[in-house]
Structure 1
Amino acid sequence: MGQAKPRITGYQLFLTAYVSANATGLLSQPTMMANAAGEDLWIPPLLGCLGGLLLSWAVYKLHALYPGRSLVQAAELALGKAAGKLASAFYLLFMLYTTSLVLRQFSDFISQNFLVQTPTVVVASSLLAVCAIASKSGVEVICRIPVVFIPVLFGLLALIFVPTFSAPNHYPISWPHNPGGWLLGAYVMQVWNAVFVFSTFYLPFVAKDSKPFLWTMLTPVAFAVTMSALNWVVLLAMGQATAMYNYPFMTISRNVSFFEFFEHLESIVMMVWVVCIFVRFAFTLYALAVGLAQLFQLPSEKPLIFPAALLHILFGFWGIKNVQFASKLNLADPTITVLAGMLLPLLIWAAAHVRKAAGSKSRKPNPTA
């Protein structure tokens, strides 16, 4: 797969990655932070942002070292053909695994809260079918969907945030006092930061004059600020009870009203989450298909998009009874994410940097010759 023609802007890629990270953070992240940091749950996203910044910086620098090439292609150049293919296959398997968990969480949530008589697998299959169609349309369609929907999403969320802030009685927030919980929560936050690596499959399509580096580095910052603000709102409304609910933001939406006219706003949360999940899966399906096509040196990624969607259904329902793990602090997934989703891309970047430095040194003219 040769040099890609720029067809999207850095801002469009920023919005796509930002919305994709918010897809699961909107509902499950406050509970996990409350279990880790207690009443200081708004602090870990800001500390966890450092991991996202490091990862985004490494992904862009790898793109700069090998223009027009993704992580999969760069791995072979940095580590050698055999080791590079092995590392790429391992990373693509991680992409499939982590997104399949998101699929199961979404399907269970919709089935248990809204479509109670619809089989969970039907919900998952319907979502993936629509996402696969969008992914098959290419990067332009995928990265322009968030541009259209982001004003609507923020407008809908305002219907929930504004009444919460304007309520006369808030839970009293104490001075932050749990540094150990901050670090633990920041470690768990890497589950969401790993999504930013998926941008490596889109950077070759970004126009150079659209400030891709700036927008790439801004993505984890915007996500961290959003999650910190969300946790603050949840803490104001629910306090220590946050850790008791799987989806505290959904609970808040069921109990707030806007000007005593709009009530029971949980349908708004569902609308926002469905759009975010749609963007997340379209974003990931295309990236996974491109990665597989590059790994096996196929001429096009489009024939792999629907098979990749089927693999997500298999992984999402194979060996997973349910995903009601959001109310408990689960360190297995953050550890897998840090090892496979963060350290592996950083290792590939480090190997590429060392190889490039060694190559530059070997080409340096010898003054004594």
Structure 2
Amino acid sequence: MSDFYFPRKIPYITTLLCASAIMLPGVSEAQEAETINIGLNVSWPGFSFLEVARQTGIADDYELNLTIYEDPLGGHAALAAGQIDIYLSTAEYTPFAIERGTDTVLVSHLNISYGVDKVMIADDMKAEELKGQKVGAPQAYIGEILMGMWLDREGLSPDDVEWVNLNADEAVGPVMSGDLAAAYMYEPWVTRVLDNLETAEIAATTAEPYYLDTGIFMDAMYMNKTFISKQRQAAMDMIRARFDALQYWHDNTEEVNQLFSDYLQWSVADIESVVGTNGKYLEDGLYMLDFDETARICGALDGEPPHGIEHGSIVKSVERTNEWWVKLGLMDEVHDAKKGVDCSLIADLVDDGYRQSMSAR
């Protein structure tokens, strides 16, 4: 596999909070909100529900401090260092966290890539014609696995192509100019290319059972282990707040899609191209897991998860991901997947009686 170059990094700006509480006249301890530092790996509506919680008062007992990284690996580094407490990202990083022994853990799946992640080809060509050509995908990220699985399905190995480390938005120009033969993309960038390049085609999508049934292609919530151990109630409350915000979106979809638009500086149409308008899913977009579905994937609640995903399969999906990283040459061995997962927070919420089940309106 060719060497990758790392994507641009947006500096992480930390908010410094005074550790010692200075009590002013008329201000009581009960009025002071605990600050929770939260990272989003890229600008993405699926990662932005805690911003909904912040703006709507769902998490009023806490001060939510959100940072968008536009750098998935940089965000994971910040979480491992304790600069943030929670990180909203995709689930495929977990094997690397296990291998490196970082102070981070996967605590919950959030939604399923229901076709929103795709492999685009710039021109209709046979698979063997891709040999020696450049393909774009972000290193150690969901796009590299999707590209790798597609190449494998087409009978090609990772060494048959030249890899270029680009995220979806960065790959648009090179695909349009012909510098890339294929690239990983998601909306709204897929539509940008299809609308402007007549020869472009979609070669693979996560809506296909071949990819969907693996349980690999998910958005997820990670937490710092020290945060969990020292502030366990806050950790549970953040999961609850995230799913309460999901319920608020379900009940007020148009309002929240506008909130996403304002927060992410996307058009409402682009937001809807990812999350839809029915409060649950969009074909070729995201399928939002309600809490009960997530708890079933964790094995903490009876019943079957949707879309062919197995009950209690969160650990198995990490193992499958690890196997693909080995196949793609980014890891040397398969580790104990249980070390990267902590479903105890979800289980505690189930024991507390928290439930949530929602359907498309």
TM-score by length of 1: 0.27
Larger radius of gyration: 1
Task: Answer 1 or 2: higher relative contact order, Cα 8 Å, separation at least 6.
Answer: 1
TM-score by length of 2: 0.27
Higher share in strand: 2
